[in-house]
Amino acid sequence: MSLVHSPLLARISINPDVRFGKPCIRGHRITVQEILEWLSSGASQQQILADYPQLEPDDFLAVYAYAAELASERKTAKG
């Protein structure tokens, strides 16, 4: 885990009893995957915040940090 992202990543929780252990935002049942899917489908942060008022703007930074950490762990296949 990157030290730069540590405070943000603390906003992501993984509990095997919540949403089948998928990474969620601050103990809510909203997954990192859902937020990324909404954003990639064209929803704005403002639209998502309006629909889910329990989210905070820094939660989006946490989602990006989590995705960056996952991407940095990937190994590219040579072929």
Q: What is the pLDDT of residue 4?
A: 55
Segment 48-57, tens digit of pLDDT: 999 999 999 9
Whole-structure pTM value: 0.83
Can you point out the beta strands (E) in the chain?
A: 12-13, 24-25
Mean pLDDT in residue range 32-61: 97
Residues above pLDDT 90, as percent of the chain = 76
Residue 79 belongs to a domain = no
Residue 72, burial from CB neighbour count under 10 angstroms (0-12, 13-18, 19+) = exposed
The region, left, alpha or beta by phi > 0 then psi within -120 to 50, assigned to residue 24 is beta
Residue 18 belongs to a domain = yes
Mean residue pLDDT of the chain comes to 89
Report d(CA 75, CA 77) in Å as an integer. Answer: 6
Q: How many residues does the chain have?
A: 79
The CATH number covering residue 30 comes to 1.10.10.10
For residue 48, give its domain range: 6-70
Tell me which residue of 17, 46, 53, 18 sits closest to 32, measured CA to CA. 18
